Every structure is written in C-alpha cells, then in structure tokens.
Amino acid sequence: MSAMRLSGKTTLITGGAGGIGAEIARRFREEGATVFVADTNCVEGAKTAASMGAVFLELDITSEDSWKAALSTVLEQTGHLDVLVNNAGINIRKNIEEMDVESFDTMLAVNVKGPFLGIKHVLPIMRAGGGGTILNMSSICGLVGHGYTNETYTTTKGALTMLTKSVAVRYAKDNIRCNSVHPSTVETALVQAMLKDPERRAERLGEVPLGRLASTTDVANALVYLASDEASFINGAAIPIDGGLTAG
C-alpha cells in the first residue's frame, strides 16, 4: 500500500463548507492531512467537517480580525500550519455596464482581499515552521478573457494569479511555495442549476477540448499533488484544470 500523500500536514481550506472546497477537504483527509474547514456558513461547514473528521472554523476571509482568530485556533490545536488553500470566492453575475460599485467592491473583498489577508497572516506562521505551501483558487478567467464571464470576476481572478507569482518569488527563500489553479466550469450544485438550460450547457461543453465539465474531484486531485512534497519544485505556477480550454 502506498503511503498517504499528506500525512503530518496541517491544512486550512477557506470556503470548505460546500462545492469545490468540501471536495478538497475530503481528498486531503483521505491523504492523511489534518484539515480545518473554514467558512462563513457555520451550519453547512460544521456538517461537512463532521462528515470527514475535519475541524470547522468560522472564518470571514474579508476580515483581518477573523483571520487572526481562526489562525490562533489552528496554532493552539496543532502548533503549525503547512498548507493554506484560498478557495473561497464569489461571482455576482453582472456585465460591466450593469455592475454597481457595491457589488464590485464585494467581489474584490472576497476574491482578492480575502486571499491577500490569509497570505499576510500565514507567512509568519509558515516561516516559523520552516516552510509551507499556499494554493490559490483562480479560474480560467485568471488566464484569459472568457466570453461567458463578466469583467469583474475576471479582474479579481487575474489579480489572484499575480498575487500568487509575487509571493512565490519573494517567499521561496523561506521555503514557502505558492501556486494558483485555474479550473474551467466545474460541475457543482450551483453550476448544475445554472446549466439546466440545454443551450447554456452546450455552450460550456463546446468550449472544452475534452468535451466535459470539470468534476470537483478533478480539481481536488490537482491540489493534493500541489500540497504534497511531490510538488516540492513547483513554485509560482498557474496550472489550468480545464480539459485544454486555455491551450487553444
């Protein structure tokens, strides 16, 4: 039997209550990691964590105080943090011409300020522990302009791509790796509801060379690799998980 790939690692996954984050948490547990599921949704977050032997943490990533409180709980319970997954993100689906400033600010707060604050506060913890890994959930929209996605979401995911590269270059000296992942449309409950319309579904399938949507497990498996020591020389990479969409 092969050894578990994340044993001994303490990990924190934001937005882990459901969707892609919950599947990342499940795969990390399967590979032997200690997992903190962090989310604003306490009811779903606690259920998800309990179902897999993870610990739930209430965390609003847009609040610096909330990050400080959550990370001090992690340190009290385990003494170190090896992997941060900045997964939580939102999309208020309005084109630039209809986008109100309040919605724009909200998206920036969750999709950019949230990961920024997380990185700010885990860097000293990881440095003290001798190193670590930060994984940022961007999107194909952090790599290319996408015909079906609004400008604001693309702006926030592009910012995350470059935040990743900056941290990768500047904190490698502390043995901290930082990478971003870029899924195309993922078959989550939310997306399934949106794609009930056969025309929209055909659009989304038609743009993927492999001819299907990503599963949450497709995404989580890439994160298992990147979080593990197998990826010890992968730093500053922007990895598409998109069936070839951005290769064209």
Ligand X SMILES: NC(=O)c1ccc[n+]([C@@H]2O[C@H](COP(=O)([O-])OP(=O)(O)OC[C@H]3O[C@@H](n4cnc5c(N)ncnc54)[C@H](O)[C@@H]3O)[C@@H](O)[C@H]2O)c1
Is position 115 an interface residue for ligand X (rule: CB under 6 A)?
Answer: no
By CB under 6 A, name the one of 34, 152, 164, 185 that touches ligand X.
Answer: 185
Is-catalytic flag, 225?
no
Is position 167 an interface residue for ligand X (rule: CB under 6 A)?
Answer: no
Interface region with ligand X, contact rule CB under 6 A, candidates 58-66, 122-130, 144-152, 192-200:
58-66
Q: Is residue 211 a contact partner of residue 243, using CB atoms and an 8 Å limit?
A: yes
DSSP state, residue 196: T
How many residues belong to the site for ligand X (CB under 6 A)?
28
Of the chain, the end-to-end C-alpha distance in Å amounts to 39
Q: Cite the DSSP H helix spans in 111-215.
A: 114-128, 151-171, 189-194, 198-206
Q: Which of 142, 106, 156, 122 is nearest to 14 (CA)?
A: 122
Interface region with ligand X, contact rule CB under 6 A, candidates 14-22, 95-103, 163-171, 203-211:
14-22
Helix then strand then coil, % of the chain, to nearest 5: 50, 15, 35
Is position 190 an interface residue for ligand X (rule: CB under 6 A)?
Answer: yes
Is position 41 an interface residue for ligand X (rule: CB under 6 A)?
Answer: yes
Is position 179 an interface residue for ligand X (rule: CB under 6 A)?
Answer: no
Catalytic: which of 148, 153, 171, 225? 153
Q: Which of 45, 40, 46, 38 is nearest to 73 (CA)?
A: 38
Is position 39 an interface residue for ligand X (rule: CB under 6 A)?
Answer: yes
Interface region with ligand X, contact rule CB under 6 A, candidates 13-21, 25-33, 99-107, 143-151:
13-21
Q: What are phi and psi of 214, to 5 degrees?
A: -75, 145
Q: Which residues bind ligand X (CB under 6 A)?
A: 14-15, 17-21, 39-41, 59-62, 87-90, 110, 114, 137, 139, 183, 185-186, 188, 190-191
Which residues are known to be catalytic?
A: 153
